[in-house]
Each structure stands twice: as structure tokens, then as C-alpha cells.
């Protein structure tokens, strides 16, 4: 069977895990610091804190944004539940925005119409590692004094006009879940952009509401309760896995990109014949080959393709059930018809297997199967 996803783990990751096991196991030890150094070297991103997940990085961004019950936040509905749940925990009301049918990212031209005085923030998702048009979003934010948060779970290593995803807003949130490009099993990070005060506040909230980080740096002689907070720091054993992955940053990126391009070129003929719609990569976005997807001509055809591929032992998938029309979205008062593009495209999208150790033989088999099915 060709699985949908499979993490690429080598002896480097094993060696680091063994090293971590024989030193400190708790968070903020040697491998966490090494991960920051590697992330800076490989992506140019600094002012970052590792977290236990991207979900928790998003929760931390919601805490730092000081959102209150009654505040409203704009989100795409075509995303993973965590994008929104992290904010609902603060009592925020979600305002869902439709997506662009070419990128599946939030439709920046629809944001302005949704604004009202209660809206305090916009959370965007760089879907499939392809960046949203941040100049437009940041321009709205500046004029209306809004906080912007990037759910960059899928976009580690992606760039917008040469700038790393995650650094294009107030807060960027990454995922190192095993299904993402660089993995630590479960894990993530938050980037706090251009705000020293918020960075210190984030350190405190991440460490159970204490200034233990400052204590570890020798800046205070004891640590104490400073604010609300939680436990958002991952074990150094997990950070050790991430360090191995980051040392292989270019290797993993190149392998993924090669597979992505093979698919992209391979299905061109299907697009030319009107059988599918390929991913669209805007000029402003350098992507990290996180995901290969295409849009089938109908929901029925999409399900048919998935089933036929399954018969050939190829695991393909679809996602997301749009949030606004999920049971929770309906409870919040949304209706299916509210976001027609999201509904339409979520019903037609199909994702193909993409993981670093896939062979050209695997991909050719998948492409041949698709040609036959379509
Ligand atoms: C994977 C993902 C998340 C959640 O990441 P975790 O690290 O598993 O919490 C959030 N948002 C998006 C868009 C994702 O793809």
C-alpha cells in the first residue's frame, strides 16, 4: 500500500533522542535551544518559542492578543478546527470568510465587507504552504487597527515576497506534527514579531504563568507567579527529533518539491482535458511542497477517484469539512449556503500521498492510475 503520509526519520533523529534521554528531559533544555538556532539558520525566523502543538501556539496567540468575550475574529472556514477553537476558548465569536477558489486561502477581497466595530483580529491560514496575500491583509489591519495571526502550521519554510511565513503578522504559529513537513511527533512554535514586551509575556504564559525563563537566564534570583498561563513547552526529547529534522531541512524540502513537481507536471494533461483543476501558485508565494491536491469536477467524481485509488492500494484523502457547516458551526448559527465557494471546493478537493521517501515508481503508479480512472 502507498500510505498518505510517512515521516522521514533517520539515524540523526535517533542519535539526538538518545542524547536527550541521557541528559535533560524537560522543556527549554539543550535541544530546544539548538532547535531555535537551527530554525534561524534555515529559515531566518527568530523570536520564537517551541510549543506542545500548533493548537497551543494558536491558544497562546489568542491569550497574547488579550481577546475578551464579545470580541469577534475573522477566520476562513476551510481550515482545521484548531485555527478557530483556540480563539473560542477566549469567548470570541467567529466570523467566517469565504475562500479564493484558486488558492483555497481566505479571499482577501471579502474581508472588508465583514468588518464591524467588534472585530479585533483576523486569523489567516497559509493553506498547503502557499501564502495568503499578506500586503492586502496587513493594509486592512493597519487602517482598522486589527491584530493579524498567521496559522502557518503548513508553511514552515514557505515565503511571501521573500519573507518567511510566520513573520508576516503579529503572531505566526507553526506545527511540527507528524503529518507536517518537519516533525517532532506532536509540537509547534509561536513567532512573536517585533514586540519585545509580548515576547516576555509569551514566555511567562507558556511556563505556567511564571517568569521561570528569566530565572533560567539568571535575570531574576527566583521565579514566581506573574500572570495567567498554561504549560505549553514541549519535552526536550521531542525537540531532539526536531533538531534532526531541521539539520535535514534542505534534503526534506528538495525531496518533497521533487515529488510535488512530478505530480504537478503529471496531471497537467488532465487539466488540459478539463478533468481537474490544478493548484495555483501566485507569484508572491514560494511554497514548501507541503501538499499536493487537485480539484475534481464534482463531489461524486472526487469520491469515485478516492475509492478507485483505494482499490489500487493508494491512500488519498480529502479535507476539510468546512467549519461553518460542521455541527459546531451550525450551532453557532451558520448555514451551509453562507460560504458557497468553501462548500463547493471542500467537496471537490483531493489530496495525494506526499512524503519524502516516496519513489518515482510510486508516483508514476499513482499518475497512471489517475489517467485510467479519469
Ligand atoms: C495541522 C494543523 C493545525 C494543528 O496543528 P497541531 O500541531 O496538530 O496542533 C492547525 N492548523 C492547520 C491549518 C493545520 O494544518
To test ligand 1's pocket by mutation, which of 5, 57, 80 has the most ligand atoms within 8 angstroms of CB? 80
Give which of 233, 216, 164, 219 is closest to 193, Cα–Cα.
Answer: 164
Listed as ranges, residues in the chain with pLDDT below 70 are: none
The distance from CA 28 to its chain's CA centroid, rounded to whole angstroms, is 23
Q: Which residues lie below 8 Å from residue 194, measured CB to CB, with a gap of 6+?
A: none
Cα of 173 to ligand 1 centre, how many Å? 9
Cα of 280 to ligand 1 centre, how many Å? 22
Cα of 360 to ligand 1 centre, how many Å? 28
The atom of ligand 1 lying closest to the CA of 125 is 13
- Cβ contact 40:46 at 8 Å: yes
Q: Residue 302 has what pLDDT?
A: 98
Q: Residue 100 has what pLDDT?
A: 98
To test ligand 1's pocket by mutation, which of 5, 54, 188 has the most ligand atoms within 8 angstroms of CB? 54
Q: What is the rounded distance in angstroms from the CA atom of residue 172 to the CA atom of residue 365?
A: 38
How many Å is the maximal CA-CA distance in the chain?
A: 70
Cell of 54: 500548533
pTM: 0.98
Q: Residue 74 has what pLDDT?
A: 98
Q: State the angle between helix axes of 196-206 and 54-64 in degrees (0 to 180), rounded to the nearest 10.
A: 120
- Cβ contact 291:354 at 8 Å: yes
Q: Which residues line ligand 1 (CB under 6 A)?
A: 53-55, 79-80, 82-83, 125, 151, 153-154, 175, 177, 188
Cα of 346 to ligand 1 centre, how many Å? 17
Residue nearest ligand 1's atom 5 by CA: 54
For residue 133, count other CB atoms closer than 10 A to its CB: 21
Cα of 56 to ligand 1 centre, how many Å? 10
Amino acid at each position: 500500500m502507498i500510505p498518505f503520509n510517512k515521516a522521514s526519520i533517520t539515524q540523526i533523529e535517533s542519535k539526538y533522542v538518545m542524547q536527550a534521554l541521557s541528559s535533560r528531559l524537560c522543556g527549554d533544555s539543550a535541544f530546544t535551544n539548538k532547535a531555535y538556532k537551527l530554525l534561524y539558520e534555515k529559515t531566518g525566523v527568530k523570536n520564537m518559542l517551541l510549543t506542545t502543538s500548533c493548537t497551543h501556539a494558536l491558544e497562546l496567540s489568542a491569550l497574547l492578543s488579550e481577546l475578551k468575550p464579545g470580541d469577534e475574529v475573522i477566520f476562513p472556514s476551510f481550515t482545521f478546527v484548531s485555527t478557530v477553537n483556540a480563539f473560542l476558548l477566549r469567548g470570541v465569536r467567529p466570523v467566517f470568510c469565504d475562500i479564493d477558489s484558486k488558492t483555497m486561502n481566505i479571499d482577501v477581497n471579502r474581508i472588508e465587507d465583514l468588518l464591524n466595530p467588534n472585530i479585533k483580529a483576523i486569523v489567516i491560514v497559509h493553506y498547503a504552504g502557499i501564502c495568503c496575500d499578506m500586503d492586502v491583509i496587513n493594509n486592512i489591519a493597519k487602517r482598522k487597527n486589527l491584530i493579524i495571526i498567521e496559522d502557518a502550521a503548513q508553511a514552515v519554510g514557505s515565503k511571501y515576497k521573500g519573507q518567511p511565513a510566520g513573520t508576516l503578522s503579529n503572531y505566526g504559529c507553526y506545527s511540527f506534527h507528524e503529518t507536517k513537513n518537519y516533525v517532532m511527533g506532536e509540537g509547534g512554535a509561536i513567532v512573536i514579531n517585533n514586540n519585545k514586551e509580548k515576547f516576555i509575556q509569551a514566555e511567562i504564559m507558556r511556563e505556567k504563568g511564571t517568569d521561570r525563563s528569566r530565572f533560567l537566564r539568571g535575570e531574576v534570583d527566583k521565579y514566581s507567579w506573574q500572570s495567567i498561563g498554561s504549560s505549553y513547552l514541549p519535552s526536550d526529547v521531542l525537540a531532539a527529533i526536531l533538531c534532526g529534522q531541521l539539520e535535514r531541512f534542505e534534503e526534506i524540502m528538495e525531496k518533497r518539491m521533487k515529488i510535488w513537481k512530478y505530480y504537478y507536471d503529471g496531471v497537467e494533461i488532465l487539466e488540459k482535458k478539463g478533468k481537474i483543476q490544478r493548484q495555483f501558485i501566485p507569484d508572491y508565494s514560494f511554497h514548501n511542497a507541503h501538499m499536493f491536491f487537485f480539484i475534481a469536477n464534482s463531489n461524486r467524481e472526487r469520491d469515485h477517484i478516492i475509492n478507485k485509488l483505494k482499490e489500487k492500494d493508494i491512500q488519498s484523502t480529502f479535507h476539510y469539512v468546512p467549519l461553518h457547516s460542521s455541527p459546531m458551526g451550525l450551532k453557532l448559527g451558520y448555514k451551509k449556503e453562507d460560504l458557497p465557494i468553501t462548500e463547493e471546493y471542500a467537496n471537490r478537493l483531493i489530496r495525494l500521498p506526499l512524503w519524502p521517501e516516496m519513489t518515482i515508481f510510486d508516483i508514476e503508479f499513482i499518475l497512471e492510475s489517475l489517467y485510467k480512472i479519469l
